[in-house]
Structure 1
Amino acid sequence: MSVDLTQGAIEALFSQSHINNPVLQVLKIREIVGSQGPSKYRLALSDGVHMSPWFVVVTELSHLVESKQLSPGCVCMLKKTNKSYLSNKKLVLVVLDMDVLQSAEETGGTIGNPSQLNAADSATSGRQVSDVSSSDTEAASMSGDTQGASASSMRGLMENSPMKMSPMKMSPMKASPMKVSPLKASPMKASPMKASPMKSPMKVIPIENLNPYVSNWTVRARVTSKSNIRHWSNSRGEGSVFSFEVVDQSGEIKVTAFNNEVDKFFPLVEPNQVYLISKGSLKVANKQYNTLNNNYEMTLNANSLIVPCQDGQGVPTVRCDFVPISQLENTHADTIVDVIGVCEEVGDVAVINTKAGRQTQKRELTLTDSSGKRVTLTLWGDEAQKFEVLSNPVVAIKGARLSDFGGRSLSAVFSSTLMVNPDVPEAVTLRAWYNQVGHSLHSQSLTELRSMGGEARTNWKSLSDIKTELMGHSETADYCSCVATVLFIRKENCLYRACPSASCNKKVVERDGRYHCQKCDKDFPDFKYRFILSVNLADFEDNQWVTCFQETAEALLGVSADALGCLRDTDEDAFQEVLRKVTHTTHVFRTRVKLETYNDESRVKVTVLEVLPLDHRQYSRRLLANIRTLSCRT
């Protein structure tokens, strides 16, 4: 089988050019024996015209080398690479994903007569080698072994390798006894600053240059978010973990600490503070739990250092790539996005049961921006409870997950960062737009359908629509929301005496001074009152009788069933006053409509599921939008 190499790929990969899935030949493989953790390997690759020894495979691909699938002479395809830099600014290509297309036996030798690419740029001096990591020093052994190379191209690779360096070139003057004069060794000359252990090894490098093959690094970065401590327990044991995210001018990275490091660093790390971080372990990021735009993540260990830095000048406070809300409509579901908008609606905290059987809290926010669209953002757990309800704040969320539930909606995840009125230019621009124009606009919602009680949909209707559209006449119930005013409340039979058992609401019958429940087949000394309230509602077109049961009746009347029952038994005027105060008040009613048959008579029954206060501004916007829609049709 013949495989053609992608000529020019080596030059393209080490420049700013973009090339997809280049096919290259492996000329040499050497293990970086000085590295910590799993084995790491360095490759020399060729495209038949040029070659370069500056390729390193991630540890997740080491099994290809160890199983002999990836061997000198084989042909492979690079599916994903990442440009990274050593501490001496030397460009290295880290191979994140690759496929072996043809074995060395099938290839039969070196393809073409490759020469080393741009030797002047890739050559490394002895001074540079002394500054790079131990992995780079060990990689010199890869290029120093030339005795077994028979092909002229391989000999050229090894002789010109930037890592070919004899021990005598490692700055012998630094180790020479002639350099250590008595004067320099005297106590008067050896100042404490020169002897400081922090000055020599510390190399502050940008976050974007971090990779597992650079050592002795330090980053100066600001903490943008910090998680709570989470405790875990499984078959392998138990422990604790927390994580935080840091940012500098070049990028951002996630940092995680376990067990002893949690106790050591959790009290030290604070959001919005700048730190010098060093001696952490770097590995390929797990994108299932890491939403940052970085191929690597950092784990703290016993040797890690985090030192507060007083000089935070030039370190950004947050790094976001905000997406206009209108673009979410054409974005794939499950995409992680950064969004900023003005919060127009804040829902109440609701308690729900998860699939795992535990309870959690949720709260829904409605965000809008200058693109003329709105979207629902769901907060969970502590974030939902802690959210402070303000008057139309600017809300930014970094790392939200886009869902196609109910059109398009956003959901905060564990790694998301929520910011209220953030100090960023986009927030200033958005606030000015909303104060001048946005507050009077009715934006189109991308989240058109919202679940309610697991079965209903938000579906705005007038009371006449219930009749003219024959709602409830199908096999399943219909659900709708309407804005209506209370005209009349039927006081007769609005309350009944119910079984006091927590799991039973059946009506009880008084018998010999006790109250008997037929369902429980028990007698009780007392009872509880429950609502079954018949209310006549009206809007601009029609009126409709509806039924409010316990929770919805209490929300409408503002009193409990037991309190109102007590008034009915003891103070008729006070009882009447409670009902009178609710008359002629306007609310949002979310209802269930179903055709029911009783004694061979069919009638539409409308049951109120929820009573909400009317937001007149939002209601007016919706009416204006309906007017515009009608005017476009005429």
Structure 2
Amino acid sequence: MYSLTEGAIQKIMNGVDVDKPIIQFLGHKKLSSSTNTERYRLLISDGVQINSFTMLATQLNNLITENKMTEFSICQISRYTISKVNNNGQQKGVMVILGIEVIVPGSEVQKQIGNPTQYEAGASSKPEAVKTEKIIPPSSSSLTSGKASSNSMNTTVNGSQIITVPIISLSPYQNRWTIKVRVSNKSDIRHWNNSRGEGKLFSMDLVDESGEIRCTAFKNECDKFYEMIEIGKVYYISRAQLKPANKQFNNLKNDYEMTLSADSEVVPCHEEMTDIPMIKYDFIPISSIEQKNKDEIIDILGIVKTANDVQELTSRATQRQLKKRDISIVDESSTAVTLTLWGTQAEQFDGSNNPVLAIKGARIGEFNGAKNLSTISSTVLQIDPDLPEAHKLSGWYNTIGQKEEMKQLSKSSGGDMNAPWLTIKEAKDLQFGHPGQPHTFMTKATISLVRAANCIYKACPNEGCKKKVIDQDNGMYNCEKCQTEYPNFKYRLLASTNFVDWSGNQWATAFNDEAEKMLSWTAQELGELKDNDPNEFQRRLSDCAYKSFMVKIRVRQETYMDETRLKAVIVSVTPIDYIAYSAHLIKKLKEIADIGKA
């Protein structure tokens, strides 16, 4: 015979704290939502009454989707809260289950226990057996002392108690509440100027053990709270305004979002809060990206296999200078995808030593019918996070993954790392660069010669400008692009290099950063030598001869002065990765020997 906590439903709905009640799950209904977030309404029984105004917290959805909690299951509720919703113009109490465990599966019970009747709000309860607690969610300026029931959290601050509610229980029909949350992400301050005026804003993502929510601060509140808010810190937040989430800009799994107002209060929490996660992830395998739609926002866990250098480009829409870095990430599905980092993330990223990346909120893109990923302003990037999944992925890569051949989801756009391995002769035979379409290929090649003539020049010192300056012979240098004269300049390399492999040779231009890697000297050092010690300058150029690298070369057809010719540019120069190169050679040997074909 199975025993339930009889009378628990009526006590809970009347504000009485019931410790870990045992109930029977009788069914569920999937609710319609304006977002992609699935929410489930439950039908539960305590053997005496049935309550259909019960919700399952979204982080527990797997109990339904994976059939872990089936009809007639006996369950124990470890944590819950009571929220108010608008039901046909009336405020109705809803029990939100935040923690529940299946004790006996429904397949074993196979029937409804007792003859319960439908619970009706307003019926009297008998709370003698359980102490009733009055829950008053206070603001930080009017802290209320009292004990919180299991549906809230109780914290003492400066001798007073703050009673907080979980994110999952928030709704626009509540006026007074306090949440205790961790800031998992904070945007830069963004400015706008349109026909309705001008202003600024920043947004932050908040998380607790029950869920997540976006919070935005405008104008005065932006000034008031921006410097105070730190990513990773925990805060008490009260008296913010709630509204339906705008899913055009908000990809968090919550139907609502918050806006800070003049009445809002944000108070730092100085306790050690290990129970509040840093970031809530919903990882999917890289292999499943292929079936996803363009512009979908997803969470991905991957390990960096290769990383390109930072590239600079100009936005067609705004003409602003942008910086990007393409990296290739893989996971245990033996699939690779290109992830593009932008701005500061691109500049500061270090892809050496194959770090694990936890990426929250990456956007799926398409190029040439293939999928890729890109960060956006709200994307959160964690490098080598302390997550069980990350440690498992790292172990897989170090023992198995780095030797496996990966399926590539992304195609080359002329400069990313998924360029084919070719010899110099193979690239020429394939007519790479004809007729005007750029092609990129990867090869293992050796430097034969670097031309000394015109390999270094005096450039504009303005950050982002690489234009050659004109010496005015009066101690000033003129930049025609910036239309400014400067008292100084900076050296930049433009090295015309001849690369050779066993099949042939290829002249290609290495710009400053890649040229410095080849020559093992900076442009500034070489420029000063060229001016002061030409013989030593020539010797250092000669020193790089016969050094071998993994070289990525982009070839395209260009027309100059009515003459059409092929121009080759060095996209990247890296030390030889013998594991990757050996994997390529093994693959080629298998193709030659017809191994693995039916």
1:623 to 575, 582, 585: 585
Structure 2 unaligned segments of length 5 or more: list them. 1-25, 34-52, 54-79, 90-115, 126-132, 137-143, 148-155, 470-489
Alignment of 1:602-613 (within 5 A): 605=566, 607-613=568-574
| Counterpart AA for 1:17 | K
Contact 2:459 2:492 (C-alpha < 8 Å) held by counterparts: no
How many corresponding residue pairs?
452
Q: Does 1:544 align with 2:505?
A: yes
Write the distance in 2 (CA, Å) between the matches of 1:460 and 1:201: 65
Write the distance in 1 (CA, Å) between the matches of 2:225 and 2:495: 58
Q: Which residue of 2 aligns with 1:362?
A: 324
Q: Which residue of 1 aligns with 2:169?
A: 209
Alignment of 1:289-308 (within 5 A): 289-308=249-268
Deviations 1:387-410 (A, max 9, x none): 345522211011111111362221
Q: Which residue of 2 aligns with 1:522?
A: none
Contact 1:496 1:529 (C-alpha < 8 Å) held by counterparts: no
Write the distance in 2 (CA, Å) between the matches of 1:322 and 1:439: 21
Write the distance in 1 (CA, Å) between the matches of 2:292 and 2:349: 27
Write the distance in 2 (CA, Å) between the matches of 1:598 and 1:290: 51
Give 3-state SS (helix, strand or coil) of 1:632's partner.
coil
Q: Does 1:426 align with 2:385?
A: no
Contact 2:362 2:373 (C-alpha < 8 Å) held by counterparts: yes
Q: Does 1:486 align with 2:447?
A: yes
1:580 to 542, 550, 553: 542
Q: Which residue of 2 aligns with 1:396?
A: 358
Give 3-state SS (helix, strand or coil) of 2:367's partner.
coil
Give 3-state SS (helix, strand or coil) of 1:607's partner.
strand
Q: Which residue of 1 aligns with 2:29?
A: 17
Query: Deviation at 1:324?
Result: 0.8
Alignment of 1:150-161 (within 5 A): none
Query: Deviation at 1:419?
Result: 0.9
Structure 1 unaligned segments of length 5 or more: list them. 1-13, 22-53, 55-85, 96-117, 134-191, 507-527
Deviations 1:84-125 (A, max 9, x none): xx9844565699xxxxxxxxxxxxxxxxxxxxxx99434235
Q: Which residue of 2 aligns with 1:238?
A: 198
Query: Deviation at 1:337?
Result: 0.4
2:231 to 254, 261, 271: 271
Q: Which residue of 2 aligns with 1:113?
A: none
Write the distance in 2 (CA, Å) between the matches of 1:536 and 1:363: 26
| Counterpart AA for 1:448 | K
Write the distance in 2 (CA, Å) between the matches of 1:193 and 1:530: 67
Q: Which residue of 2 aligns with 1:100?
A: none
Contact 1:202 1:216 (C-alpha < 8 Å) held by counterparts: no
| Counterpart AA for 1:607 | A
Distance 1:197-1:303 versus aligned 2 partners, 3 A rule: farther
Distance 1:628-1:565 versus aligned 2 partners, 3 A rule: same
Deviations 1:200-247 (A, max 9, x none): 997633212211112222222222122233333333333332221111
Query: Deviation at 1:261?
Result: 1.9
Query: Deviation at 1:256?
Result: 1.1
Query: Deviation at 1:194?
Result: 7.2
Query: Deviation at 1:457?
Result: 8.6
Higher mean C-alpha displacement, 461-470 vs 544-553 = 544-553
Contact 1:366 1:376 (C-alpha < 8 Å) held by counterparts: yes
Contact 2:410 2:418 (C-alpha < 8 Å) held by counterparts: no
| Counterpart AA for 2:443 | C
Contact 2:411 2:418 (C-alpha < 8 Å) held by counterparts: no
Write the distance in 1 (CA, Å) between the matches of 2:531 and 2:518: 21
Contact 2:499 2:508 (C-alpha < 8 Å) held by counterparts: no
Higher mean C-alpha displacement, 616-625 vs 199-208 = 199-208
More RCO (CA 8 Å, sep 6+): 2
| Counterpart AA for 1:548 | T
Higher mean C-alpha displacement, 384-393 vs 571-580 = 571-580
Deviations 1:538-561 (A, max 9, x none): 323x11242537757676556799
| Counterpart AA for 1:16 | H
Write the distance in 1 (CA, Å) between the matches of 2:458 and 2:182: 61
Contact 2:444 2:576 (C-alpha < 8 Å) held by counterparts: no
Q: Which residue of 2 aligns with 1:255?
A: 215
| Counterpart AA for 2:178 | T
Contact 1:203 1:216 (C-alpha < 8 Å) held by counterparts: no
Q: Does 1:316 align with 2:280?
A: no
Q: Which residue of 1 aligns with 2:241?
A: 281
Q: Percent identity?
A: 33
Write the distance in 2 (CA, Å) between the matches of 1:296 and 1:361: 34
Write the distance in 2 (CA, Å) between the matches of 1:395 and 1:264: 33
2:307 to 346, 365, 368: 346
Write the distance in 2 (CA, Å) between the matches of 1:90 and 1:15: 22
Q: Does 1:465 align with 2:429?
A: no
Q: Which residue of 1 aligns with 2:596?
A: 632
Contact 1:473 1:595 (C-alpha < 8 Å) held by counterparts: no
| Counterpart AA for 1:439 | Q
Contact 1:289 1:415 (C-alpha < 8 Å) held by counterparts: no
Distance 1:20-1:471 versus aligned 2 partners, 3 A rule: closer
Give 3-state SS (helix, strand or coil) of 1:399's partner.
strand
| Counterpart AA for 2:411 | E
Write the distance in 2 (CA, Å) between the matches of 1:376 and 1:306: 39
Q: Does 1:124 align with 2:122?
A: yes
Query: Deviation at 1:608?
Result: 3.4
Query: Deviation at 1:618?
Result: 2.9
| Counterpart AA for 1:432 | G
Deviations 1:322-366 (A, max 9, x none): 011111111111111001111233332333222212123222232
Larger Rg: 1
Write the distance in 1 (CA, Å) between the matches of 2:305 and 2:539: 35
Q: Which residue of 1 aligns with 2:374?
A: 411
Contact 1:374 1:446 (C-alpha < 8 Å) held by counterparts: yes
Give 3-state SS (helix, strand or coil) of 1:287's partner.
coil
Q: Does 1:438 align with 2:401?
A: yes
Instruction: Report the structure, 1 or 2, having the larger helix content.
Output: 1
Contact 1:484 1:589 (C-alpha < 8 Å) held by counterparts: no
Deviations 1:135-155 (A, max 9, x none): xxxxxxxxxxxxxxxxxxxxx
Write the distance in 1 (CA, Å) between the matches of 2:358 and 2:322: 23
Please report the TM-score for the alignment, with normalisation by the length of structure 1: 0.59
| Counterpart AA for 1:325 | I
Write the distance in 2 (CA, Å) between the matches of 1:603 and 1:322: 49
Please report the TM-score for the alignment, with normalisation by the length of structure 2: 0.63
Give 3-state SS (helix, strand or coil) of 2:287's partner.
helix
Distance 1:94-1:349 versus aligned 2 partners, 3 A rule: farther
Contact 1:556 1:611 (C-alpha < 8 Å) held by counterparts: no
Distance 1:219-1:627 versus aligned 2 partners, 3 A rule: farther
Query: Deviation at 1:370?
Result: 1.1
Q: Give RMSD over aligned pairs.
A: 4.8
Distance 1:353-1:626 versus aligned 2 partners, 3 A rule: same
Q: Which residue of 2 aligns with 1:449?
A: 412
Write the distance in 2 (CA, Å) between the matches of 1:276 and 1:499: 55
Write the distance in 1 (CA, Å) between the matches of 2:244 and 2:445: 57
2:343 to 370, 381, 386: 381
Distance 1:326-1:532 versus aligned 2 partners, 3 A rule: closer
